[in-house]
Amino acid sequence: MSDVFISYSRHNLDFVHKLDAALTAQGKVSWFDQKKEPLAGLPPGSKWWEEIKYGIETADNFLFIISPASISSPYCNAEIAYACQHEKRLVTVLYCGVEGEADTLRSIDQVIDTIPDNSELPPSVSATITNLRSLTRRNWLEIGEVQYVAFFDGHQFERALAQLIQGLDMDLAWIRLWSQVRQTARIWAETGDSSYLWSEMRLKPVREVIAKRTQPLTEIERDFIRPESERLLRELDDIGTPHARRSFIGEHLCKIGDPRAGVGLRPDGLPDIAWCEVPGGKIEIKEQIFTVQPFYIAKYPITYMQFQVFLDDPDGFACNEWWESLTEEYRRQSMKEQHFKFVNHPRENVSWYQSIAFCRWLNAKLPLEAWPDTAASDMSAATCGEPGRLRDSKQDTVKWEIRLPAEWEWQQAATGGDQANEYAWRTEWDGRRCNTKECGLSRTTAVGMYPDGASPIGALDMLGNVWEWCVNEHKETANTGTTGDAERILRGGAWNFEHIFAHCSAKNLYWAPRYGLEHFGFRVVCARLS
């Protein structure tokens, strides 16, 4: 690979030899055809033109020697067109000889105007525009946007050379990298082959430099440098994306960083909860009517990363405060290992007791600005008292709490308030919208891998992936107290259960609260204390 390809007219050959020698003395490798323009009648597709194209493609810079002779040369114009086609970096030298700069520019304009209307490129070269006058004018506009370095015979050669060297060296590493980006992006766009896409590790520094340089981008280039996570997440919006691909996307996001709000942690290290607003209504469960007040529910189940903060916090899992009123035997019961250890997957192997303790801890720890907007709008940002007690602008105490949902709240969130919705996405079963046993994955997926399975209020994974603990008892449905060891309700189905369990209302599971299994998880709600 050469540092510079020199395009010139043979009328300026002596100057080009001098310039090439000076560049070589500065450690630069230049490429130019010393014979330059071939004999007339050279057949199309000749080896000469192929060598010229190769020299342009493999050079870091395309240096055009501007002169009245070169601006009207069909060969120089074909080279300029090819360099522009391949988006090579243009560097220009205005060779004035013994003329003044203004006189040289006037001569160039005159030469362009005298090119015959019917003059065509010779068959030995190629360009998209074959009319020489039209191509010359287009090229002159293109290179006219580039600041040239003026050279004169007999004086100030070294000063001009220093300016040229500075121009050639400017951001050389970036020039080479950007050339790779452009060419790879073009191949990717032409072939549709995703193997040409770069990894996030390779793309991130490119985007950082582009931001600093305010680099102009084509639509193809903008799409090519898009964060890898963004491209992967766009795939999820296609309902035809296979289950295995969704599983891969989630695990790959775990490696490169999952940018979605509500999946990971806040800057302060606490769980980042994305809240969905749930309307009020009435629900019938076991021939009992339950009134649901408007509340908020987490968009996703609590993830492995989010729960781990509770385990690692010295004031978290080991703190007795979060276990008060729970059955003595199971206070701070040993925590089982996560079965599928991906930070953006739902936390599983978690018991009802452990999920209750987590909610109490989060209720106390989460700062005011992280609570839902409605809760925050009732409160003064200056005050945040004891857990679950927040003051509004009238100084009246408004009580909110973060906790497990009651199953009627869970059902209201899953249906969006329309109890005719048998599934989160309305009335007909669609196995493309959630992770159940029929998917064949035999594992959890990262939360939110099925956006087309969202409930009407925007909550994801309400069906499939992991069963979700509810606060109330199974036998005494209305009992939402946290004492005793009565069986508790789980809702939503799981990755290792058939789809008949992934239902908004008809199917549920109940289990002793001490059990934590690889298909048991939970999500939190934020609701007013009654």
What digits encode the pLDDT tens for the residues 446-458?
Answer: 999 999 999 999 9
Q: What digits encode the pLDDT tens for the residues 474-512? A: 999 999 999 989 999 999 999 999 999 999 986 789 999
Instruction: Determine the Cα–Cα distance for residues 151 and 96; give it in Å rounded to an integer.
Output: 6
What mean pLDDT, rounded, does the chain reach? 89
Amino acid identity of residue 519, one-letter, is H
Q: Which residue has the tokens 């999920």?
A: 355
Q: How far is CA 461 from CA 347, 493, 494, 503, in A?
A: 13, 10, 10, 12
DSSP state of 175: H
Domains of the chain, earliest start first: 2-170 (3.40.50.10140), 271-528 (3.90.1580.10)
CA distance 299 to 460: 6
Question: What is the C-alpha separation between 90 and 82, in angstroms, rounded?
Answer: 12
Find, among 168, 153, 166, 28, the residue nearest to 98 by Cα.
153
Q: What is the pTM of this model?
A: 0.68
Instruction: Give the model confidence (pLDDT) of 298-341 as tens digits.
Output: 999 999 999 999 999 999 999 999 999 898 777 778 899 999 99
pLDDT at 266: 96
Count CB neighbours of 450 within 10 A. Answer: 26
Tell me phi and psi for residue 151, to 5 degrees.
Answer: -120, 140
Q: pLDDT band for 47, please (50, 70, 90 cuts).
A: confident
| Residue 422 contacts residue 503 (beta carbons within 8 Å) | yes
Helix, strand, coil tally for the chain in percent (to 5): 40, 15, 45
Half-sphere CA count of 211, side-chain side, radius 13 A: 8
Quote the pLDDT of residue 375. 55
